[in-house]
């Protein structure tokens, strides 16, 4: 077997060189200023526009902008969710934590275009009358964020906070707890952050790329925003593309481009891959024969994937997909907060069972057919039982593995690995 051995923990943006396409392409919007300085930013994008809350919400609704942090929640809905009577007490947090080891787009955005993020945060705050503002990001992006905040008078009230390098540090309720108590653990979701978040006040947590896109929509309008992308994936989005033998690249692409196109734009040869994992470690596998699939929610759904936080991870031909998935599942099982039953018992058991399946070809003989059924059973058991989405996302990856690589699973059960013969 030519294994694509991965150490998921080592794949964070701190440990990998990130290449971004420097030359301007027709897709470039977020990186149009060509550098992180405030003077450049003002020269290209001009001053902050002034919009009422209703105007901003209407424009965002018409733009179709979906959140870029993973859930794809419509951006306008978050703003509209706040009770008008409580808006003056509200807190807004720009979330740049990339606990997902495969993602580097938020750190790259903060390094190259931090002022669009700050603009989006200030615009949202002005429209709601919010008092307290935070920028929460990983250590990788902290210096760039601090430099940008120091450059502008109107950003003095934004407080900078460092996110721990854990997988769940970017989960919205973990963000609030991290700022409030210094512990980035999700809390019970029965309490809505928009009603009682930081310090018991209504709180909005927006991904930093979402806020940067808000700044563009506020300036240029919904019609302009929709001039790139497709109906159900409007505008541009950032992708982090990683493939064996290639540099990690962060690229800006029109929404809804195909996987094949995204790989080529990141200078990855699609023919070198047998599949891609779309949406990160909580995403789904898409096989090479489906690389013509557009990166939209509907078209990716059959693979258990979604555009999510814009992650495309290639699986090299000749690598064992079951083994790679088992490594990721084991990593995810170790990343839980161990607060809820499915994380304490279910995820380790599911990861261990998938690892047994992954290693069966080298264990000297066939394994019971029930092993795959057991992995599936455990995935269904943990789904929907945690306080946060972590067990669901991990189960989704595992179920996508069993479905996309069904013939590899059968081969492993029979005691060999198809990729070993490739
Ligand atoms: S489901 Fe898991 S990760 Fe989420 S809060 Fe519970 S223990 Fe923590």
- Which pLDDT score, from 0 to 100, does residue 17 have? 39
Q: Among the atoms of ligand 1, which is closest to the Cα of residue 388?
A: 4
Dihedral pair phi/psi, residue 398, rounded to 5°:
-65, -45
Instruction: State the average pLDDT over residues 356-367.
Output: 72
CA of 334 from ligand 1 middle (Å) equals 11
How far does Cα 200 stand from its chain's mean position? Answer: 27
Q: Among the atoms of ligand 1, which is closest to the Cα of residue 338?
A: 7
* Whether the CB of 386 sits within 6 Å of ligand 1: yes
- Which pLDDT score, from 0 to 100, does residue 362 have? 54
Q: What is the pLDDT of residues 327-353, one digit of tens each?
A: 999 999 998 878 888 999 899 999 999
* Whether the CB of 320 sits within 6 Å of ligand 1: no
- Which pLDDT score, from 0 to 100, does residue 350 have? 97
CB 342 within 8 A of CB 385: yes
Split at pLDDT 50, 70, 90, the class of 22 is very low
Domain segments of the chain as ranges: 34-225, 229-316, 321-421
pTM of the model: 0.92
Architecture per CATH, 321-421: Up-down Bundle (1.20)
* Whether the CB of 382 sits within 6 Å of ligand 1: no
Q: What is the pLDDT of residues 222-233, one digit of tens each?
A: 999 999 999 999
Instruction: State the average pLDDT over residues 82-94.
Output: 90
Dihedral pair phi/psi, residue 203, rounded to 5°:
-135, 135
Q: List CB contacts of 364: < 8 A, sequence separation 6 or more.
A: 415
DSSP 361: G
Split at pLDDT 50, 70, 90, the class of 355 is very high
CA of 156 from ligand 1 middle (Å) equals 35
Q: Among the atoms of ligand 1, which is closest to the Cα of residue 337?
A: 8
State both tokens at 259. Answer: 């996987």
pLDDT above 70 covers what percent of the chain? 91
Architecture per CATH, 34-225: 3-Layer(aba) Sandwich (3.40)
- Which pLDDT score, from 0 to 100, does residue 227 have? 96
**Choices 2.60.120.10, 1.10.3720.10, 3.10.20.600, 1.50.10.10: CATH for 229-316:** 3.10.20.600
């Amino acid at each position: 077997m030519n294994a694509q051995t991965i150490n998921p923990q080592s794949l964070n943006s701190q440990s990998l060189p990130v290449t971004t396409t420097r030359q301007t392409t027709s897709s470039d919007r977020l990186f149009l200023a060509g550098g992180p300085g405030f003077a450049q930013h003002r020269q290209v994008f001009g001053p902050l526009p002034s919009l009422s809350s209703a105007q901003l919400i209407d424009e965002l609704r018409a733009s179709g902008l979906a959140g870029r942090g993973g859930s794809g929640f419509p951006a306008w809905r978050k703003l509209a969710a706040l009770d008008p009577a409580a808006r003056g007490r509200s807190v807004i947090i720009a979330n740049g934590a990339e606990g997902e080891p495969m993602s580097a787009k938020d750190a790259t955005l903060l390094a190259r275009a931090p002022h669009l993020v700050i603009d989006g945060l200030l615009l949202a705050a002005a429209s709601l009358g919010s008092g307290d503002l935070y920028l929460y990001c990983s250590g990788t992006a902290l210096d760039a964020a601090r430099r940008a905040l120091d450059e502008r008078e109107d950003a003095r009230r934004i407080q900078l906070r460092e996110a721990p390098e854990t997988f769940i540090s970017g989960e919205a309720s973990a963000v609030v707890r991290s700022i409030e108590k210094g512990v980035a653990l999700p809390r019970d979701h029965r309490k809505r952050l928009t009603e009682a978040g930081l310090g018991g006040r209504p709180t909005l947590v927006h991904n930093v790329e979402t806020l940067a896109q808000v700044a563009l929509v506020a300036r240029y309008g919904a019609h302009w925003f929709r001039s790139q992308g497709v109906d159900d994936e409007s505008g541009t989005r950032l992708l982090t593309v990683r493939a064996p033998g290639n540099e990690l690249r962060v690229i800006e692409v029109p929404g809804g481009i195909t996987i094949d196109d995204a790989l080529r734009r990141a200078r990855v040869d699609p023919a070198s891959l047998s599949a891609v994992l779309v949406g990160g470690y909580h995403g789904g596998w898409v096989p090479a024969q489906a690389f013509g699939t557009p990166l939209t929610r509907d078209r990716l759904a059959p693979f258990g994937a979604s555009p999510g936080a814009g992650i495309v991870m290639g699986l090299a031909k000749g690598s064992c997909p079951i083994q790679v998935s088992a490594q990721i599942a084991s990593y995810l099982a170790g990343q839980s907060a161990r607060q809820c039953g499915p994380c304490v018992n279910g995820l380790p058991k599911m990861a261990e069972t998938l690892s047994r399946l992954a290693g069966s070809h080298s264990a000297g003989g066939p394994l019971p057919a029930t092993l795959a059924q057991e992995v599936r059973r455990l995935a269904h058991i943990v789904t929907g039982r945690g306080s946060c989405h972590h067990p669901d996302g991990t189960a989704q990856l595992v179920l996508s593995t069993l479905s996309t690589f069904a013939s590899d699973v059968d081969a492993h059960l029979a005691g060999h690995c198809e990729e070993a013969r490739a």
